[in-house]
Structure 1
Amino acid sequence: MANVLPAERRLEVLAALVNGTSVRAAERMTGVHRDTIGRFAQAMGEGCARLHDRMVRDLTCALVDLDEQHSWCRKRQIHVDAAKDDAAAVGEQWTWAAICRTSKLVIAWHVGKRDQESADTLVEDVRARLSTMPQISTDGLGLYAQPIAANFGPAVPYGQMIKNFTARPGKPGTSEKFAVERGVDFIRKRTISGTPDHAKTTTYAIERSNLTARQWNARLRRRTLAFSKKLSRHCAAVALHYVHVNLCHIPRNMRVSPAVAAGVTDHVWSLEELMVAALEEPAGEKPEPQPLAIPKPKGPARELPAGRGWLRVVDGGKGSAAPAPAPEPTPAAPTATPDGGQGPIHAVVDRGPSAQLDLFAWKPKPRKPVQLSLFGEPEG
């Protein structure tokens, strides 16, 4: 008979793992051996991935941000003579993720190298989980353009936010390593396809999600000994973190979890509910891409046939109506005099601040006469 931890002890281990504790620290806190914690964490991560595939489908996300995050697995460097299969699981690993900016729901993620294959895998997974055409925002990485055009079409609103960094002198008194620091000089936005709204072209949501992942997942932290020694454990830890954030966490500026805000579930899950559902989730099929509905734009618009989109009115074009001329000011009535006449022709009439000035109302400003002295001012 296999040894199985009691439910209370497993819940203690799970609470430690999802709150940024390493495996060895969880061992010291709970008294459970690290090998048992590792097997339990991998089983939870794989179950969370299956749970995510079943629940996160047919999303109506208007704004989607994509980004990648750096981490390590086993060791920092790869030997030149390493086998091809082993080299893929050794060294730096990148967590590619996509988030719905409105609901803060992590739509999809992928762990791999920083190459075109990983970018294609992430975009294909995002496309399979959406039911409406979103506006996509990324940084300046060029690996996103090809899969986004191939999966969403050339008319998808896709914009990039590019940060321009320059080297600046560091603070006085710092070491030589930090004598020069990088800073953002300015941000440039550009259109890759479609007509994205550059006021909404930003990656702040996915960057904030990456920061949360580094705080709550010890394997993703910089300069740490808690990094994964096996790629399968690393992928399971990433899946556990994202599913826990989607179902159980309530962001500070929201009242419900991201899954509730996105319509994936109807309540905020407890940690115990997540543990039971992940361990009992059977293997299922990955979501398949469905036809995308193009959302109706704001303002006057007419739907094109065969669901090809909308024809909207854009101000400022050749067919726009000419601006209406400004109304002419109403002339003021003449001033009446006691004798019944209409007064002199040079009388001053107050027409208000926007009325035309009366040229006959001008008078020269009186000046004090100054007598010139040929010998200067007398002394005393």
Structure 2
Amino acid sequence: MNKLSTKERAQILAVLCEGIGINAASRITGASKNTVLKLLADAGEACALYQDEAHRQLNLKRIECDEIWSFVGMKQKNVPRELKGTFGYGDVYTWTAIDAETKLIPCWHVGTRGAESANYFIKDLAERLASRVQLTTDGHKAYLDAVEDAFGAGIDFAQLIKLYGTEGQTKEDSRRYSPADCTGIEKRPIEGDPDPALISTSYVERQNLTMRMHMRRFTRLTNAFSKKIENHMHAISLYFMFYNYCKIHKSLRITPAMAAGLTDHVWELADIVNLIQEPEPQKRGPYKKQNSN
């Protein structure tokens, strides 16, 4: 059985991390589609495990949170009746948090847009922080109870609510995801003493755009989408590993992980390949020669 070298696997991951789809990655690298998918799964699991263990006791100060929409398998309107309400079919939301200073993504969660996912995500975020932070979210109501349950009074929390106007917007504009004009914002302190000058969701919203550019399955208005929720989650884990540890941030001139003190060097994709645990070889029993009659 042929086995890809570290260099060959790193090349496949490099293609995937630059926003290329599975089929195109197979054509570019010469690897089979099944090989690309298997490597994506192995790398995704390894990246999720590594970041889950490494992103603890983080000394971050200013967090922004948001959720980004995508779909798996089919659009929500096309989900058959027997599958409606089943996670992994139709609308899927990725909840993300970003530190405004180091640009680190400390955690994320793939789920629905409801209260259950909000509670899980915010609780996970709270468990990773070493000190009090200022947190800003959009006006999504699910954040209110989630932040209260996870942080209590130990946080400076505010919501930034954008006000939109639809004047001049046609139905065709709405169908093609053309955003309405932002007519104003409202900064609403919720808990603690958040600094009004630092109430912002600009970094996390820009991060949403970066996700759409670096993961083909997030691209709008195309036939690119995740067919299985497992591959969707693997791609997200790989992307955040690449973003946090491999990609030099233009304004920082180092990686977010370096800025947050999680590593002292820029990771290569070969380093991510080395995180993948090789399966242990199966032990074979002693060979027994069959008696012939």
TM-score under structure 1 length normalisation: 0.69
Number of residue pairs aligned between Structure 1 and Structure 2: 274
1:30: which partner in 2?
A: 29
2:205: which partner in 1?
A: 207
- State which of 263, 266, 280 in structure 2 corresponds to 1:265: 263
SS at match of 1:163: strand
The 5 Å alignment of 1:36-185 reads 36-76=35-75, 77-82=78-83, 87-169=86-168, 177-178=172-173, 182-185=180-183
2:221: which partner in 1?
A: 223
The 5 Å alignment of 1:328-343 reads none
Quick one: distance in 1 between partners of 2:256 and 2:274? Answer: 20
Does structure 1 conserve the Cα–Cα contact (< 8 Å) formed by 2:257 and 2:263? yes
For structure 2, list consecutive stretches of 5 or more residues without a partner in the other structure: 280-293
Quick one: distance in 1 between partners of 2:214 and 2:185? Answer: 29
The 5 Å alignment of 1:253-332 reads 253-277=251-275, 279-280=276-277
Does structure 1 conserve the Cα–Cα contact (< 8 Å) formed by 2:7 and 2:270? no
Amino acid at match of 2:81: V
Q: Which has the higher helix share?
A: 2
CA deviation vs aligned residue, 1:274-306 (integer Å, no higher than 9, x gap): 2212x0399xxxxxxxxxxxxxxxxxxxxxxxx
Amino acid at match of 2:270: E
Larger radius of gyration: 1
Residue 178 of structure 1: CA displacement? 2.8
- State which of 232, 235, 238 in structure 2 corresponds to 1:237: 235
For structure 1, list consecutive stretches of 5 or more residues without a partner in the other structure: 283-380
Residue 235 of structure 1: CA displacement? 0.4
Identity %: 34
1:154/1:238 CA distance change after superposition, 3 Å: same
SS at match of 1:93: strand
Does structure 2 conserve the Cα–Cα contact (< 8 Å) formed by 1:164 and 1:186? yes
Quick one: distance in 2 between partners of 1:181 and 1:120? Answer: 28
Does structure 1 conserve the Cα–Cα contact (< 8 Å) formed by 2:118 and 2:143? yes
1:366: which partner in 2?
A: none
Quick one: distance in 1 between partners of 2:98 and 2:107? Answer: 7
Amino acid at match of 2:190: I
Residue 99 of structure 1: CA displacement? 0.9
Quick one: distance in 1 between partners of 2:194 and 2:10? Answer: 45
1:281/1:165 CA distance change after superposition, 3 Å: farther
Amino acid at match of 1:275: V
Higher RCO (CA < 8 A, seq sep 6+): 2
SS at match of 2:123: helix
Residue 260 of structure 1: CA displacement? 0.6
CA deviation vs aligned residue, 1:69-92 (integer Å, no higher than 9, x gap): 0001011132222276xx211001
Quick one: distance in 2 between partners of 1:43 and 1:15? Answer: 15
Quick one: distance in 1 between partners of 2:93 and 2:235? Answer: 13
